[in-house]
Chains A and B, each alone.
Chain A
Amino acid sequence: MAILFSRIKLLHYRVLLGRQSVSSTWTPLGSTMIHSLFLINSSGDIFLEKHWKSVVSRSVCDYFFEAQERATEAENVPPVIPTPHHYLLNVYRHKIFFVAVIQTEVPPLFVIEFLHRVVDTFQDYFGVCSEVVIKDNVVVVYEVLEEMLDNGFPLATESNILKELIKPPTILRTVVNTITGSTNVGDQLPTGQLSVVPWRRTGVKYTNNEAYFDVIEEIDAIIDKSGSTITAEIQGVIDACVKLTGMPDLTLSFMNPRLLDDVSFHPCVRFKRWESERILSFIPPDGNFRLLSYHVSAQNLVAIPVYVKHNISFRDSSSLGRFEITVGPKQTMGKTVEGVMVTSQMPKGVLNMSLTPSQGMHTFDPVTKLLSWDVGKINPQKLPSLKGTMSLQAGTSKPDENPTINLQFKIQQLAISGLKVNRLDMYGEKYKPFKGIKYMTKAGKFQVRT
């Protein structure tokens, strides 16, 4: 039975959603998945709205603004916000809130995934996804959105297909269109739309046939005070850029496929083949795409490529504290650690810092208390360090929270999990493509507690 005055009483989520009870009465309207979309910038202006069914008044966003106000930072705005007649699902990307309005019970992940796809499409179309760019291309944006969703059902979300339906703007095309009066709307049915390989259009032609694969691993870790690993995991992806003529059928095999026990594939990958032979067999989409993402879990031993030595001391009733950190390489398989960046949120009691780095640049913002140190490359012979003193607020006891150190770095030519591609073969076409594999390891959320 339907319950009237349903109360969304979020007991312990009160903190999260603020609004303790929303008495809401839902009218059984058609179950359009996504009713409307609002794009909102960080200063709270709605700069684009798109409705797939009837027009929903933009006043519905007031509930969003309320939630935004309560959240201290944009990142903390809860992703699901109930209102009396709708739900607002939002994602925050590129300093823009993408707020979807839904009216019936739908899978929220469906909506959120779709919103991410919208963001990706904008980025793909316009190079960047920003308020300015969206406003500059508002008609294309509108056409694309219309093409992506019909009655709440996603219609075409593959950028390959979308680009055939609605051509992305280029300076050249804009000029040509103005002169010739032709349009940027394709008038042919996209070829890939309904074939067995919907992700690839037919009739692809290149003079240089090439296929590049980037194995990129991000390492997420929490390291405790003493330097031992609390948790570490690797998020890996294989991104591909394939520019091959015709309908190539590729297989990619690994030296150590057993590492990949938790994987998500692009729809082009033949799952059966992977299950039985541990080989990736696929007809690739044209252009850039993510072939595979994988996760090497905390249970396997994850090598930690860098360490941080730290000595941060606050003393009671002293206005001076000592600060010293040193960064050094650990298990890097002989590769250089570069692009190292150290950031740390210092406690409120720290008024200023006077530090000297052995290399790189550092800044401390006394307002936000954010310390950042752009280290650059680590030379194992001469480890970079940052030393100095902190001036503390006089008379207060020592801060109770310890600063956490955030680390960013990059290691070229290394997949920290040890994953290695064995070979790439192509079937179905006669020419000989150029093939390339690149490895890289980066820090994801890499945190060192002090």
Chain B
Amino acid sequence: MTDSKYFTTTKKGEIFELKAELNSDKKEKKKEAVKKVIASMTVGKDVSALFPDVVNCMQTDNLELKKLVYLYLMNYAKSQPDMAIMAVNTFVKDCEDPNPLIRALAVRTMGCIRVDKITEYLCEPLRKCLKDEDPYVRKTAAVCVAKLHDINAQLVEDQGFLDTLKDLISDSNPMVVANAVAALSEIAESHPSSNLLDLNPQSINKLLTALNECTEWGQIFILDCLANYMPKDDREAQSICERVTPRLSHANSAVVLSAVKVLMKFMEMLSKDLDYYGTLLKKLAPPLVTLLSAEPELQYVALRNINLIVQKRPEILKHEMKVFFVKYNDPIYVKLEKLDIMIRLASQANIAQVLAELKEYATEVDVDFVRKAVRAIGRCAIKVEQSAERCVSTLLDLIQTKVNYVVQEAIVVIKDIFRKYPNKYESVIATLCENLDSLDEPEARAAMIWIVGEYAERIDNADELLESFLEGFHDESTQVQLQLLTAIVKLFLKKPTETQELVQQVLSLATQDSDNPDLRDRGYIYWRLLSTDPVAAKEVVLAEKPLISEETDLIEPTLLDELICYIGTLASVYHKPPTAFVEGSRGIVHKSLPPRTGSSESAESPDAAPSGAPPSEQAAVIPTQGDLLGDLLNLDLGPPVSGPPVATSSVQMGAVDLLGGGLDSLLRSDVGGSPAMGGPGFTAPSAVMPANLGPPPSGGLGDLFDLAGGVGALSGSHVAPKTVWLPAMKAKGLEISGTFSRQVGAISMDLLLTNKALQVMSDFAIQFNRNSFGLAPAAPLQIHAPLAPNQTVEISLPLNTVGSVMKMDPLNNLQVAVKNNIDVFYFSTLYPLHILFVEDGKMERQMFLATWKDIPNENEAQFQIKDCPLSADAVSSKLQGSNIFTVAKRNVEGQDMLYQSLKLTNGIWVLAELRIQPGSPSFTLSLKCRAPEVSQYVYQAYETILKN
């Protein structure tokens, strides 16, 4: 008799039948019925209609039945909150049961029921259970606090559960400690600012003690928690390391990796001269190697992490090359990772072995893997100079196999080798040329053309070869076209006499018959260069190329350091900080390795406007703020080209004189070649580019308020004219300008989107980062038709204030992401606070007086509003238009005093006293508010409204 019987049902009314059975008098029948219900649940059937009947079975002394009912409740309570209340009494009763198993079960289940009404009843039982005599109950209750916090954080704080939880860290039972740590870290993640896990040497000591005794899962929580601690000196770091190292021998790979994280992080604090440092390095290798003998899924995660570790501390695994050799039945995802690490570990000492392996892999069946193996040979050649010759001959062997994709891949990497070691291996060109016809992939064709152009003087029939490509010029992909253009110009400069016709032909093809702007621009530039000053042309086109970097695909050091802090997490699998893919509270806390703390702090906060400066609504394109996002975006652009800047200054000057702004497009459009090279053609170091890109984005914006026209309509609050938020050059041709408005209670963001690119844009979407007042789009960005080049669309995006809240600096900073079919762009802008002033912001006089007195004087801020020649009444009516209400007006000693109130969308009241001296254009504004940080922005709003 098996459980599969629970799945068999009669055709007519399964639910009906179950209902009858659930209400049966016989215990046994009831239990069977509940089992049937659970069985249906496991296969995703909706049995929520049975809720009242199942809940009726709850009051039983049969533990199994009780458990089953609890299982059901957890699944469906959310959808039937009113019904769930029926269960509360039983829960509360069960929390008092003499059997600890039942007490724990009840408190655990209650915590899983995410219904507000239930949580109220949960507090008392939970408080008792947190202090229960039985550790099993305490440990369950600790987790329950985390659950409750997730449902209602405020409640948990008010009830003081957090303190009880903190006390549990000192519990006598290690399991309780582990769960308390887990719960606290979970809560701390959603409240990064709160100092919940107050780590100090004493609590660390407790954790380390518990580490030895609790379960494997608890050890992971504790280790992850330890990793966030900042030891005060190297001695403390060492003593923690000493106590963590035994975890490296744990059978659970997650424990091992978490321990590796702690050690990698704290090692940073140890002096390299220390004996212990060397010991630690030695201890790290074996566990990492052992991870590779685990199941493939574990191996994959381990390999991704080892990839980081090898970049940070190559010495740990330098002797372990062989464990990364690929077995032919490894899953493909393991193979590719192993290959990557092999190249990172390749050195002069082991290169022979590595090459032999790579050659072996190049004859495997899996195409992706073979390609990567061939590329790896090229990377070895570039990395280990001594091996270059052997690599080249290996590649030649592979070309002889005539396997199409192997040949193409080999040619692409040989081109890189030529770049790295010029004038050394040109003897192989003949062999390469034999394979010309078989190349059908753009990258390989472009590489081959580059080679022919670069060594045109040594290839007798270079002109014939290039000419053969020219026949199908318009069918080629852009990178091949660009490459062909450059190659023929090179050829012409080297052998001008025989190739004049050819160069004419390619220039006309590129400039007249092509609709690709990059190609046209490049064609014109060459044309003009050649016709005005062939000597300059020679210097530009045949300039010495910058060296290519030895190590490719390296993770940028600051990112690497951050990722080291995330060893063992998803971030380490994706090699991106969690901020890049988890939009959660965690995002705010950047982790950093110990010695770097100071610098990373300051880098995090977005550039705040210098204090005292006039408020200007400047749009800041986020990458310029030098924060992590910028790094990330740069990262996508491929590895930077290392080496000295290109060309001599005279060449650069000449080029600029001759061509003006056109040169940058020539430089930029150099897309051919692998990212390792940064383009085989004419490559400029990236630093040169910005200079050619015109004024910096923020420079041309000017002061918004100077531009203001007669906008401020009476129907709503003042609306500033649109300013450019995202300049086209920062967003691949998409220019966004906009402003904020508030009309009869509705906030909207009025946008002007202009397509300044040459391709059609579509699929627009917008999103805001969490901000101080929870501003969020109330509807998706509705742009129905695709945006054609040079077309502009005006759109008003309704906003609400129910989004997630996170305090920004400055307070009214709003970070926006806009997506289209081309890319995702980020910018930030400052919104005027008055869009948040609500319509019912008028306070009663009495109330006003009482509140004014009630707010402490420290909260009062005074500002001067200059050059505003308005009368008190005009001021009053003007402000009222923007929901700043005059509560009372008095005349004291010839001065007009306006008492005003306003309310923000989040319910914060701001009280104001405006003193107007007749005849003087200056006003004095005193603001009182319980949240004094808004005062400055309210003042800005006053300024803006009054002066427009």
B378 contacts chain A at the CB level, 8 A cutoff: no
CA distance A404 to B363 in the complex (A): 11
A395 to chain B, nearest CB (A): 15
Are B293 and A235 closer than 8 Å at their CB atoms? Answer: yes
Given the interface contacts A1-B606, A151-B112, A262-B287, does A198 sit within 8 Å of B325 by beta carbon? Answer: no
Residues of A within 8 A of B179 (CB): 153
B108 contacts chain A at the CB level, 8 A cutoff: yes
A365 contacts chain B at the CB level, 8 A cutoff: no
Are B301 and A109 closer than 8 Å at their CB atoms? Answer: yes
Q: Kindly supply a per-residue 1/0 record for chain A positions 179-203, scoring 1 wherever the CB is within 8 Å of any chain B CB and 0 otherwise.
A: 0010111111100011010100000
Residues of B within 8 A of A71 (CB): 332
A421 contacts chain B at the CB level, 8 A cutoff: no
A367 contacts chain B at the CB level, 8 A cutoff: no
A53 contacts chain B at the CB level, 8 A cutoff: yes
B75 contacts chain A at the CB level, 8 A cutoff: yes
A54: contacting residue among B78, B213, B300, B403, CB under 8 A: B78
Q: Kindly supply a per-residue 1/0 record for chain A positions 3-42, scoring 1 wherever the CB is within 8 Å of any chain B CB and 0 otherwise.
A: 1111111111101100000011111111100000000000
A78 contacts chain B at the CB level, 8 A cutoff: yes
Q: Kindly supply a per-residue 1/0 record for chain A positions 261-285, scoring 1 wherever the CB is within 8 Å of any chain B CB and 0 otherwise.
A: 1111111000110010000000000
CA distance A189 to B632 in the complex (A): 51
B325: contacting residue among A2, A79, A231, CB under 8 A: A231
Are A189 and B101 closer than 8 Å at their CB atoms? Answer: yes
Are A1 and B111 closer than 8 Å at their CB atoms? Answer: no
Are A5 and B2 closer than 8 Å at their CB atoms? Answer: no
Are B108 and A3 closer than 8 Å at their CB atoms? Answer: no
Are A406 and B329 closer than 8 Å at their CB atoms? Answer: yes
Q: Kindly supply a per-residue 1/0 record for chain B positions 570-582, scoring 1 wherever the CB is within 8 Å of any chain A CB and 0 otherwise.
A: 1101101011111
A51 contacts chain B at the CB level, 8 A cutoff: yes
A-binding segment of B214-222, B513-521, B915-923: B214-222
Residues of B within 8 A of A136 (CB): 2-4
B327: contacting residue among A7, A13, A87, A447, CB under 8 A: A447
Are B190 and A113 closer than 8 Å at their CB atoms? Answer: no
B232 contacts chain A at the CB level, 8 A cutoff: no
CA distance A396 to B290 in the complex (A): 44
Are A298 and B42 closer than 8 Å at their CB atoms? Answer: no
- Which residue of chain B lies nearest to A274 when distances are taken between CB atoms in the complex? B249
Are B332 and A137 closer than 8 Å at their CB atoms? Answer: no
Q: Within residues 123 to 166 of chain A, which ones have a CB less than 8 A from any CB in chain B? A: 135-143, 146, 150-151, 153-154, 157
Given the interface contacts A26-B583, A262-B287, does A79 sit within 8 Å of B300 by beta carbon? Answer: yes
Given the interface contacts A107-B569, A116-B295, does A26 sit within 8 Å of B289 by beta carbon? Answer: no
- Which residue of chain B lies nearest to A292 when distances are taken between CB atoms in the complex? B251
A286 contacts chain B at the CB level, 8 A cutoff: no
CA distance A188 to B322 in the complex (A): 51
- Which residue of chain B lies nearest to A91 when distances are taken between CB atoms in the complex? B297
B855 contacts chain A at the CB level, 8 A cutoff: no
Are A49 and B43 closer than 8 Å at their CB atoms? Answer: yes
Q: Within residues 615 to 647 of chain B, which ones have a CB less than 8 A from any CB in chain A? A: 627-629, 632, 636
A63 to chain B, nearest CB (A): 15
Are B579 and A79 closer than 8 Å at their CB atoms? Answer: no
A174 contacts chain B at the CB level, 8 A cutoff: yes
Are B571 and A105 closer than 8 Å at their CB atoms? Answer: yes
A230 contacts chain B at the CB level, 8 A cutoff: yes
- Which residue of chain A lies nearest to B403 when distances are taken between CB atoms in the complex? A400
A341 contacts chain B at the CB level, 8 A cutoff: no
A184: contacting residue among B64, B182, B290, B636, CB under 8 A: B64
Q: Kindly supply a per-residue 1/0 record for chain A positions 62-81, scoring 1 wherever the CB is within 8 Å of any chain B CB and 0 otherwise.
A: 00000000010001101110
Given the interface contacts A47-B43, A137-B3, does A262 sit within 8 Å of B368 by beta carbon? Answer: no
CA distance A329 to B534 in the complex (A): 74
Given the interface contacts A187-B99, A233-B323, does A28 sit within 8 Å of B804 by beta carbon? Answer: yes
Q: Kindly supply a per-residue 1/0 record for chain A positions 197-225, scoring 1 wherever the CB is within 8 Å of any chain B CB and 0 otherwise.
A: 01000000000000000000000101010
A445 contacts chain B at the CB level, 8 A cutoff: yes
- Which residue of chain A lies nearest to B368 when distances are taken between CB atoms in the complex? A15
B583: contacting residue among A9, A28, A150, CB under 8 A: A28
Q: Within residues 134 to 178 of chain B, which ones have a CB less than 8 A from any CB in chain A? A: 134-136, 139-140, 143-144, 146-147, 149-150, 173, 175
Q: Kindly supply a per-residue 1/0 record for chain A positions 310-328, scoring 1 wherever the CB is within 8 Å of any chain B CB and 0 otherwise.
A: 0000000000000000000
B886 contacts chain A at the CB level, 8 A cutoff: no
Residues of B within 8 A of A4 (CB): 583, 767-769, 815-817, 824, 826
Residues of A within 8 A of B236 (CB): none
- Which residue of chain A lies nearest to B825 when distances are taken between CB atoms in the complex? A5
Residues of A within 8 A of B186 (CB): 30-31
Are B578 and A193 closer than 8 Å at their CB atoms? Answer: no
Given the interface contacts A55-B75, A143-B67, does A138 sit within 8 Å of B3 by beta carbon? Answer: yes
Residues of B within 8 A of A80 (CB): 300-301, 570, 573
Residues of A within 8 A of B769 (CB): 1-4
CA distance A113 to B219 in the complex (A): 14
Q: Kindly supply a per-residue 1/0 record for chain B positions 740-771, scoring 1 wherever the CB is within 8 Å of any chain A CB and 0 otherwise.
A: 00000000000000000000000001011110
Are B101 and A187 closer than 8 Å at their CB atoms? Answer: yes
CA distance A142 to B182 in the complex (A): 24
Are A299 and B319 closer than 8 Å at their CB atoms? Answer: yes
Given the interface contacts A2-B583, A53-B112, A297-B323, does A138 sit within 8 Å of B39 by beta carbon? Answer: yes
Are A75 and B331 closer than 8 Å at their CB atoms? Answer: yes
Residues of A within 8 A of B3 (CB): 135-140
B780 contacts chain A at the CB level, 8 A cutoff: no
- Which residue of chain B lies nearest to A112 when distances are taken between CB atoms in the complex? B297
Given the interface contacts A5-B824, A264-B250, A447-B327, does A153 sit within 8 Å of B67 by beta carbon? Answer: no
Are B587 and A271 closer than 8 Å at their CB atoms? Answer: no
Are A107 and B568 closer than 8 Å at their CB atoms? Answer: yes
Are B301 and A9 closer than 8 Å at their CB atoms? Answer: no
A-binding segment of B252-260, B384-392, B661-669, B891-899: B252-260
B740 to chain A, nearest CB (A): 19
Are B629 and A3 closer than 8 Å at their CB atoms? Answer: yes
Residues of A within 8 A of B824 (CB): 4-5, 7, 23
Residues of A within 8 A of B817 (CB): 3-5
Are A58 and B44 closer than 8 Å at their CB atoms? Answer: yes
B724 to chain A, nearest CB (A): 20
CA distance A176 to B28 in the complex (A): 13
B72 to chain A, nearest CB (A): 10
A293 contacts chain B at the CB level, 8 A cutoff: yes
B588 contacts chain A at the CB level, 8 A cutoff: yes
Given the interface contacts A139-B38, A222-B327, does A297 sit within 8 Å of B289 by beta carbon? Answer: yes
A48: contacting residue among B42, B140, B576, CB under 8 A: B42
Are B100 and A109 closer than 8 Å at their CB atoms? Answer: no
CA distance A169 to B327 in the complex (A): 40
Are B150 and A29 closer than 8 Å at their CB atoms? Answer: yes
CA distance A298 to B320 in the complex (A): 8
Given the interface contacts A15-B336, A105-B569, A230-B322, does A194 sit within 8 Å of B136 by beta carbon? Answer: yes
Given the interface contacts A3-B629, A31-B189, A112-B297, does A298 sit within 8 Å of B100 by beta carbon? Answer: no
CA distance A153 to B628 in the complex (A): 32
B352 to chain A, nearest CB (A): 12
Residues of B within 8 A of A193 (CB): 136, 175
Residues of A within 8 A of B149 (CB): 30
Q: Kindly supply a per-residue 1/0 record for chain B positions 1-44, scoring 1 wherever the CB is within 8 Å of any chain A CB and 0 otherwise.
A: 11110110000000000000000000110010001001101111
A46 contacts chain B at the CB level, 8 A cutoff: yes
B586 contacts chain A at the CB level, 8 A cutoff: yes
B863 contacts chain A at the CB level, 8 A cutoff: no
Given the interface contacts A5-B817, A6-B580, A110-B220, does A28 sit within 8 Å of B63 by beta carbon? Answer: no
A82 contacts chain B at the CB level, 8 A cutoff: yes
Q: Within residues 41 to 96 of chain B, which ones have a CB less than 8 A from any CB in chain A? A: 41-44, 62-65, 67-68, 71, 75, 78
B286 contacts chain A at the CB level, 8 A cutoff: yes
List 8 extra interface pairs beyond A79-B297, A109-B257, A139-B6, CB under 8 A: A3-B579, A54-B78, A82-B581, A108-B569, A110-B217, A157-B216, A267-B215, A275-B246
Q: List 12 A-B contacts (CB under 8 A).
A: A1-B587, A1-B627, A30-B146, A50-B42, A106-B570, A112-B297, A139-B39, A183-B65, A187-B101, A220-B327, A224-B360, A264-B249
